[in-house]
Amino acid sequence: MERTLAQAAKHLGLTRPKLIGLMREKGLLNEQNLPTYSTRDREYLRIKDSNWYHDQLGMQYSQSTRIKQRGIRWLAKQLGLNLPEIPVDKRDVA
C-alpha cells in the first residue's frame, strides 16, 4: 500500500503542509515536493508519474511523491515523530 503526502500526514497526526515542511527541513523533499534522493530512499518513497489529456492543452504530465508502507515508520524516525499506537485487536481473546 502506498500513501499520498496528505494520507501519510494524517496517519502521522500532521497536516500535509506541516509534513512537507518537516521533510524539506530534513532534505527528504525538493522544491517540487519530490524525493531529493529517489535512489537512496527508493525502499520508502517513490515518484508517481501521471498523465492525462486536456481538450485544449493536449497531454498534461505531473509527478507526485508516494510513501510506501514501510516508509511510514522510516519517515516518523527521520522526522523524530512518535507514531500513534496501533489499537489492540481483542477479537482473538478466548
- What was the pLDDT predicted at 47? 96
Quick check: 15 pLDDT over 90? yes
Q: Once rounded to an integer, what is the mean pLDDT over residues 52-65?
A: 97
pTM over 0.75: yes
- What was the pLDDT predicted at 52? 95
Domain ranges of the chain: 2-82
Measure the CA–CA gap between 13 and 79, rounded to whole angstroms: 13
- What was the pLDDT predicted at 50? 97
Question: Which residues does 64 contact at the CB level (< 8 Å), separation at least 6?
Answer: 4, 5, 33, 34, 47, 48, 50
